[in-house]
Structure formats: C-alpha cells, structure tokens
Amino acid sequence: MMQTPDTIIKIVMISLLFMTSCKEKEKIEIETNRVLAVRTTSIPRRDLRRKVEYVGTLKPVRETIIYARIGGSISEISHKEGENVKKGDVLVRIKAPKVAKQKKTLFYELEKAKLEKAHLCNYMKIDARLIKQKVISKAKYDQSVLQCKAAKKGIKAIYSKLEEIQTVKDRKIERATEVGKVVKWLAQPGENIFPGKSVLKMASKKQEIVVNVNERDMFKGIKAGTSVILHLPEKIGEKNRFKQVKAKVDRVFPLAKYPGRLVETGISLPQKLQFYDKAGISIDVEFIIDQYPQIWIVPSKAIKTEDEKTSIFVNRKNRAYKIEVELKLSSGGFSGIKGEIQKDDQVIITGINRLQHQDKIYPVVVEKEKEIQK
C-alpha cells in the first residue's frame, strides 16, 4: 500500500512530538530529583554596627602657660619636667629684692607715723582742755584736731601700701591651678625675668583623644554625643594587645573652609584610664554611625531581593527553605536582618539564584570569614 506524502509528513511529525515529550519528561524528572551543592554558614545573633574608623592622638584637654606676675630672678623650681602636680602645689619661687626693700622702708615709715600720730593726738587732747578753760582760741584747737586726723590718715595710707606689697609678695610664688603635669620649663633658676615672662608650660591631668575627621564622614552623622569605641593598648608600647572602651564625642571644631576640609573632634578619655599619661600616642577610634543590638547576622551576598521583597535561603534537613526577612543594616560584607529564623538554621550563601523553595541541597558548612566571602 502506497503512502501519500501527507501521510509520511504526519508520521514524521508525530514521531518528533513523541521524542520531544519523552525528553521533557526526562528533564522534569532530573529537575525533580536534582540535589544542588551549596555552601552554608551559621547565623549568629549579636550587635551590628556601621562605623567609620580613624586614628586619633592622645593629648591633654588643656595646656597652660604660667607667666611671671612680678619682676626678679627665679630662686627655686619645685618640680621636674614630666612630674605630676596637685592643685595648690608650689611650682616656682621668684626672688624680688626691690619688694623686700620697699617693705622695709614702709615699716620704718609706719613706726615714724605712729609716733607722730601719738604726739599730735596728745596735743589735741591738751588743747581740748585748754579751750574749755578759754586759754586758747578755737582756731588753735581746730588746727590740733586737723593735725591728729591727718596723722591717722597717714597711718592708714601706709597700711594700704603694705597690703599692696603683700599682694606683690604673693606673686613671688606661682602655684598649680589644677591637677596636672609639668610639661616644660621656659625659664631656669637664677634667670632674671620681668612681669609677663613665660615661666613654664603645664598640661591638665584630664586627657582627650583628638581625631581629625574628613568632612564627608562628618555628614554620615558624626557629632557631639556620637558613640565611639576606643582600641586602647593594654600597656603603653605593647603591640597586638588592646581592649575596647566605650566613649562619646565631646566637641566638634571645624579646621578650615575649603573642599575636603577636616573637622577636629575631641573624645575625653575616661577618668579610670588616666594612667595613659604619654601624650602623643596613637589610638584607633571607631565612630559608631548606626547600631542594632542582638540582631541576626548573615553575609550580605546571602540576601536575595526580588519584587521589592528581601529573603534568604536556610538549610533545614538538607532542603532549602525561603524565608522573607527585613534588612536593617549592612556593614563590612555582613547584614543585620529580622525574620522567622530558627536557632539552628544555616544560611545558604552560594547558588541562591538557582534555588527554589524546598529544593534538595547538599550543604557544605563554612565558618571562616575568608571562605564565607569567596
């Protein structure tokens, strides 16, 4: 029986459709039974911070120059450079011969004025009796009264001068105005000085860490009150031994008005850490821009965003489960998220674009950060 060309074409088409159907069925079966090898890692719960890192310099909060308040010569220096001083401690004594001579002269004049006053006031008393007896005129008595009063005023004037001399004498001794440290002597014993001459440089005991921050980082939210983490050495000079100390920015001071300008920030060193008394040492500083306490942490590459929804895949009994999460913060290759995550879940960090919900997986657990970031 001869077959027509149309019949042959129909037979060929049916055969092709049958073969294609078989292949699609085979493909579906392969897809259904596939097991995808993926990398997974644990999902810790801890604080996550977005931070800006700088290096600061330890400096005293205040540096003060002590100036001489009287002319003379330095007779004594009580503390060496680098020594700590308490408020009220004697720092320097100044010898002022002119002041001593003036004081001696005034004492001599005072004794003389007292004798003169006693003499004149005694005459006034005598004249008071005589005027009652009408032996002398009233003008004579009035003159005696005026002379007695003038003598008293003279004594008061000398006492005032002596008080001034005592004030000047007090200026011969310079004392510490606060707890601090002698930084540098600017004058030496025996040196002649004049009023206003700088004698020594002092630093307050209270210290701060000064950090010059680029303006673009200031715009991220650094201001007075911003929390910081200080990485302080356990001991001055020791490397790779640090402890973290929490502090806050105390002050912000712009240094210039040009593009890329720097802003000086001051961070007070906590009082319990004042043993870091070597000004000039460098300290690593972290400015905390944002932080979330006790949040789930996953590698940022494990997060999948699709149709404005954020999700991750986790391994549960060797199957990939898709969980919608809320992204809170990303920093340093890791992200903080909120979602219905179980304690023992492992987040899938590779092949997430090929995964479907409840796909079978072959998990390879990695924990080292270098392997996680691959």
pLDDT, mean of residues 214-230: 90
pLDDT, mean of residues 344-364: 92
pLDDT in tens, 255-290: 766 666 889 999 988 766 655 556 778 889 999 998
Same fold, 33-46+293-372 and 97-171: no
How much is the pLDDT for 256?
63
Q: Give Cα 321 distance to the centre of its chain.
A: 46
How much is the pLDDT for 26?
46
* Sign of the dihedral through C-alpha 325, 330, 335, 336: negative
* Contact criterion met (CB below 8 Å) for 40 and 346: yes
CATH code at 68-93+172-204: 2.40.50.100
Of the candidate ranges 102-116, 168-182, 328-342, the one whose mean pLDDT is the lowest: 168-182
Domain 97-171 matching CATH 1.10.287: the answer reads yes
pLDDT surpasses 60 at 252 = yes
pLDDT surpasses 90 at 311 = yes
Query: What class is the 33-46+293-372 domain?
Result: mainly beta
Domain ranges within the chain, ordered by starting residue: 33-46+293-372, 51-61+205-291, 68-93+172-204, 97-171
How much is the pLDDT for 280?
78
pLDDT, mean of residues 289-313: 90
Closest CA to 31 of 364, 360, 353, 350: 360
* Sign of the dihedral through C-alpha 298, 300, 303, 305: positive
The rounded distance, in Å, linking the Cα atoms of 124 and 122 is 5
pLDDT surpasses 90 at 94 = no
The rounded distance, in Å, linking the Cα atoms of 356 and 312 is 11
pLDDT band at 19 (very low <50, low <70, confident <90, very high): low
Q: What is the dihedral of CA 41, 47, 52, 58, to 10 degrees?
A: -120
pLDDT, mean of residues 17-41: 64
Of the candidate ranges 40-54, 173-187, 247-261, the one whose mean pLDDT is the lowest: 247-261
The overall average pLDDT reported for the chain is 83
The pair of three-digit structure tokens given for residue 49, joined into one six-digit string: 């911070």
Architecture of domain 51-61+205-291: Beta Barrel (2.40)
pLDDT band at 250 (very low <50, low <70, confident <90, very high): very high
